[in-house]
């Protein structure tokens, strides 16, 4: 299962300076689940990002028939730091229920991680656009 905000904050707190945190974010991005090229469509593009960002997902009910649907995301970018930010979002949102996703504030987590003040306004806007897209998907599934 993915990390909680608290676990991410704890990991980041072990890093002394922004350079180390930046490297950690890039390393997280290198570990992202590969996104098949066939999913990198115009429809999957996240609008509002300066870099190319694609987001696809599957909704799966538990195999035992009980419990809530979980959303599994795949995402990619052509920029290393953005891939790292995607990885942070995947830690917070991947394989969670729509309700859990809607209750998790990734923008606040960005501040808790000390990343918000080190991102350009364009990168921050792109991060918010990714969060908005994920939350919209979750909201659609929560309403269904």
Whether the CB-CB separation of 3 and 88 falls below 8 Å is answered with no
Kindly tell me the sign of the dihedral angle through the C-alpha atoms of 111, 81, 78, 75.
Answer: negative
The residue from 49, 92, 101, 109 that is catalytic is: 49
Choose among 64, 48, 20, 19: nearest CA to 123. Answer: 48
Dist CA 95 CA 76 (whole Å)? 17
Burial status of residue 78 (CB atoms within 10 A of its CB: 0-12, 13-18, 19 or more): exposed
Q: Which two tokens stand for residue 34?
A: 């590969």
Instruction: Based on the residue annotation, tell me whether 49 is a catalytic residue of this protein.
Output: yes
Count CB-CB contacts under 10 A for residue 91. 19
Positions marked active-site:
49
């Amino acid at each position: 299962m993915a990390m909680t905000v608290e676990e991410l904050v704890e990991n980041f707190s072990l890093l002394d300076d922004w350079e180390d945190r930046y490297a950690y974010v890039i390393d997280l991005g290198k570990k992202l689940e590969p996104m098949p090229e066939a999913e990198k469509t115009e429809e999957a593009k996240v609008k509002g990002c300066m870099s190319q960002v694609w987001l696809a997902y599957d909704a799966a009910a538990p195999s035992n028939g009980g419990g809530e649907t979980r959303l599994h995301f795949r995402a990619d970018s052509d920029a290393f730091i953005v891939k790292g930010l995607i990885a942070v979002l995947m830690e917070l949102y991947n394989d969670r229920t729509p309700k859990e996703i809607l209750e998790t504030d990734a923008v606040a987590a960005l501040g808790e991680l000390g990343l918000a003040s080190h991102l350009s306004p364009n990168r921050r806007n792109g991060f918010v656009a990714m969060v908005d897209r994920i939350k919209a998907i979750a909201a659609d599934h929560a309403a269904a």
